Amino acid sequence: MQRWLLKTEPTAYSFAQLQKDKRAVWDGVKNPQALKNLSQIAPGDRIFVYHTGDEKAVVGIASALSGAYADPKHADPRLLVFDIAPVAALPHPVTLAAIKANPKFAGWELVRLPRLSVMPVSAAHWQEIERGAAG
């Protein structure tokens, strides 16, 4: 099982909406590096959902229901999607400011490559974010 962080603009599609929908097709990724990362997602992988925009925080945990597959809405086979389901909202969102202030996250893509929308999360980073979400 791998771990990932996916970014979404909450005004476009929020974690709360994912919880309401119970499952969704994660689409809209166009960046080549993000697509490369997305191509490695497998069923059962754990996912942090990160709200961009004014929030800038990890807000929830989801699970991959499928691996990546070609987006049926586009003719370009390089554009990938996958199926996702919510697991739980974090009890306390973990802000980007808190992540940047923690030296354990130095060098992580979220800090180094702020525009990357799909990125791996190490086991140590996952635990640190969960610890921060606990309050």
pLDDT in tens, 82-96: 999 999 999 999 999
Report residue 72: phi and psi, to 5°: -70, -15
CATH of the domain at 114: 3.10.590.10
pTM: 0.95
Tell me the C-alpha distance between 85 and 48, whole Å.
Answer: 11
Total domain count for the chain?
1
What pLDDT was estimated at residue 114?
Answer: 85
Range(s) of the domain holding residue 47: 3-133
Tell me the C-alpha distance between 100 and 33, whole Å.
Answer: 22
Give residue-wise pLDDT tens across range 25-51.
999 999 999 999 999 999 999 999 999
Rounded mean pLDDT, 58-71: 98
pLDDT-based confidence at 135, cuts 50/70/90? low
